[in-house]
Chains A and B, each alone.
Chain A
Amino acid sequence: MSVKVRFFAQFRELLGTDIMTEPAAGTSLTTLVAEIAKKNREGYEAIFDKQGSFREFVIVMRNGKRVETADAGTTPVMDGDEVAVFPPVAGG
C-alpha cells in the first residue's frame, strides 16, 4: 500500500515533505512517521521523545482529521492515506 507523509515548518526543514512510503499492512501511524524521521537524527528528536512517543505538542493529522498522538501508536495506516505532521509555529 501507498501512504503519503507531509511535514511542515521546522520538521520539513529537517526531513523534507511529500514523502511516499510503502508500509506493510498494520503499520501504525507512529511507526510510519518514526521510520521516516530516523533518517535525520535532529528531525527525529524534534518529533519524538526518548521513549519514542510523539512529543506532546506535535500535531498529527490523517486525511485532514486530527489523530490524538496518544492513539497514533495503535492507529494503523491505510492505503491512500495522507498523513500531516506539524508543530505549533510560535514566533512573532
Chain B
Amino acid sequence: MVSKRERERYRRQILLFGDDAQECLKKAHIFIAGAGGLGSPVAIYLAVAGVGTITIVDKDTVDLSNLNRQILHSDRDIGMKKTVSALETLREYNADITVNAIDATITADNALGLVGAADGIVDALDNYPARYLLNRVALEKNIPFFHGAIRGFYGQATTIIPEKTACLECIFPRAPPPEVFPVIGATAGVIGAVQANEVIKYLTGKGTLLAGRLFTWDGLCAAAEEIVIEKNPACPACGTAPASEQPREKKK
C-alpha cells in the first residue's frame, strides 16, 4: 500500500500513472552495475521515483577526476569507497527506500548471486567483458537488461528483453579495445536519464520500451537517432541456431 507520506512525496508522478503503478515501483528491486557516470543519474532518478529496493555495485574509490560526471559523489567523498558515498547520497535523496551498496568486482563466479532476485539489471558499466557477463545473467534469469554507454558527447542505450529482443552479444559481438574514454558529465546525464526512464516504464507498464532499438545521442549536434537491431540466430549468448543449443549454460 502506498502510504499517506508516499502519496505526497510522489504526488506529481502519481498524477501520471496512479497509485497502482507507484506500488509497482515500491515493490521492485533493481540492480545497478556501476556507481560511476551512468550509475549516478540512474540511481538518483530511480531512488527519487521510489523504486523500493536498489542494489548498486562498484569496486572503486572516489577520485577527483571522477567528479566531472559522477554526481553521486562530491569533494568530501574523495578517497571513500564509491559504495559508501553512493549509499549516503541515495539516503539523503530518499530515506524511504532500501539501498544495498556492494563493494565488489563483478565476475563470472559472483554475478548470478549479486543480481539475486532483482527484477532488472541496469548496465552502468565501463567495459564490455563485465557487460557480457551481466547480459548472460539477464538472459538466464529472464529479466530485462537496460544497456547504456557513453563516450565524449556521444551515448547509446537500448532495452534488452530476453527472448523478445536482440541481446547485447547480438548487437555487439566483440568488445572494443579498452581506453581512457573522454566524457562530459551531461552525456552521462542524458543516457542515464534514458535508462532510468526505461526502468520506470518497464516497472509501471507504461509507454513503449526501447526494445529492439538502439537509441543514439549525438550531443555535438544535439541529435537523437535510432538504429533498428535484430536478433542474431547464431548469437553465442541467446541464439537459437542448432549449433548452439543450450547457449546459456555453455560458458562455465
Binding site for B on A (CB under 8 A): 8-10, 12-13, 56-57, 59, 61, 64-66, 84, 86-92
In the complex, which of the residues A61, A65, A84, A92 contacts B126, with contact meaning CB atoms closer than 8 Å?
A92
- Chain A residues with Cβ below 8 Å from B177 are 57
Determine whether the beta carbon of B37 is less than 8 Å from that of A90.
no
Binding site for A on B (CB under 8 A): 34, 36-39, 123-128, 148-152, 154-156, 171-172, 174-179, 181, 183, 188, 216, 218, 220, 227-228, 230, 232
Q: Which residue of B lies closest to A12 (CB)?
A: B218
Least Cβ–Cβ distance between B224 and chain A, in angstroms: 12
Given A8-B216, A64-B228, A84-B227, answer yes or no on A89-B150 (Cβ-Cβ < 8 Å): yes
> Considering the complex of A and B, which 5 residue pairs feature the smallest CB-CB distances, nearest first?
A91-B181, A88-B172, A92-B126, A89-B149, A57-B174
- Complexed CA–CA distance, A8 and B224 (Å): 11
Least Cβ–Cβ distance between B250 and chain A, in angstroms: 21
Determine whether the beta carbon of B176 is less than 8 Å from that of A91.
no
In the complex, which of the residues B151, B174, B178, B230 contacts A66, with contact meaning CB atoms closer than 8 Å?
B230
Selected A-B contacts with CB under 8 Å, 15 pairs: A8-B154, A9-B154, A12-B154, A57-B176, A64-B227, A88-B174, A89-B156, A90-B151, A91-B126, A91-B149, A92-B38, A92-B39, A92-B123, A92-B149, A92-B150
- Chain A residues with Cβ below 8 Å from B126 are 90-92
- Chain A residues with Cβ below 8 Å from B181 are 90-91
Determine whether the beta carbon of A92 is less than 8 Å from that of B36.
yes
Interface of A is mostly: mixed
Determine whether the beta carbon of A13 is less than 8 Å from that of B227.
no
- Chain A residues with Cβ below 8 Å from B179 are 90
Looking at A12, A65, A87, A90, the one whose CB has the most chain B CB atoms below 10 A away is A90
Determine whether the beta carbon of A57 is less than 8 Å from that of B218.
no
Given A57-B172, A61-B227, answer yes or no on A91-B216 (Cβ-Cβ < 8 Å): no
